[in-house]
Amino acid sequence: MSNSKAPSSTDYVIVFPLDSEKKLSRTTYSAEMTQGRASSDDVNRALNLFDLVFSRLTSPSDFWKTLFWRSVMPFIVLFMFGPTFFFVYALIGVYYLYHKNQHEIQRSKTEIENIMQTVQPGYLKRGLRWRFPEDSNGWVELIKEYRDVEKHGDVEVQAQNIYEPPQNVAQEVQTTVHNA
């Protein structure tokens, strides 16, 4: 279940995509990426908690296999009773599987958010923040919110690396407009 839709890591965001075994990739991180603020072991412990939730998700290929077997096999039997009966059965089955899958994804997102609330305080103290994007079904992000010191000649300049995800900006705008 490799997630080809996962974005690439940037200077401010480290992305941990799911691999084919429904585990978040550990190869994308090293302690140097956060200037030693979070060790590989620290990040690995958090990723292990997230992995528990992701491992229970049905992969898209499993979803389609289930849909195939729940539709085709009964088709052979139900076709004997009439195509109208099968058509109704198939529609109800597709509707059920789709909504079951959507419910499973939403439940998993809630569990991931709960885990993040638990581990977040320790990371926030180090200038890091975990994030599970709203549009994600297969990756988590570690945001670097601390200040970097950049050298420009003989002068040190504070560069603020605060990543503000689009979903939070939209929420702030809605709140501001609603309160006005």
Could you please report the per-residue DSSP string of 37-96? SS-HHHHHHHHHHHHHHHHTSPPHHHHHHHHHHHHHHHHHHHHTT-HHHHHHHHHHHHHH
Name the residue range of residue 27's domain. Answer: 13-179
The answer to whether 16 and 140 have CB atoms below 8 angstroms apart is: yes
| 2 pLDDT above the threshold of 50 | no
Does residue 8 sit within a domain? no
pLDDT beyond 60 at 176: no
In a domain, 169, yes or no: yes
Q: Count how many domains the chain has.
A: 1
Question: What pLDDT does 147 receive?
Answer: 62
CA distance 180 to 171: 14
Whether 177 has a pLDDT exceeding 50, the answer reads no
Residue 4: inside a domain: no
Tens digit of each residue's pLDDT (9 = 90 or more) over 101-112: 889 888 888 898
Domain for residue 17, yes or no? yes
Whether the per-residue pLDDT at 169 is higher than 60: the answer is no
Q: 3-state SS of the chain: helix, strand, coil percent to 5?
A: 55, 15, 30
Q: Tell me, yes or no, whether 53 lies in a domain.
A: yes
In a domain, 2, yes or no: no
Most confidently modeled range among 114-123, 159-168, 169-178 = 114-123
Task: Report, as an integer, the average pLDDT of 120-146.
Answer: 85
| pLDDT > 80? residue 114 | yes
Our CA dihedral for 114, 118, 123, 124, rounded to 10 degrees, sits at 80
7 has pLDDT over 50: yes
How are strands ordered across the β-sheet holding 13-17?
13-17, 139-144, 128-131
Q: Regarding predicted confidence, which is higher, 162 or 65?
A: 65
| Domain-located, residue 6 | no
Integer Cα distance of 90 and 79 in angstroms: 11
Within a domain: residue 54?
yes
Whether the Cβ atoms of residue 6 and residue 17 lie closer than 8 Å to each other: yes
Q: What's the rounded Cα separation, in Å, for the pair 67 and 13?
A: 36
User: Could you read off the pLDDT of 30-73 as tens digits, one per residue?
Assistant: 888 988 899 999 999 999 999 888 887 777 777 788 777 777 76
pLDDT at 65: 81
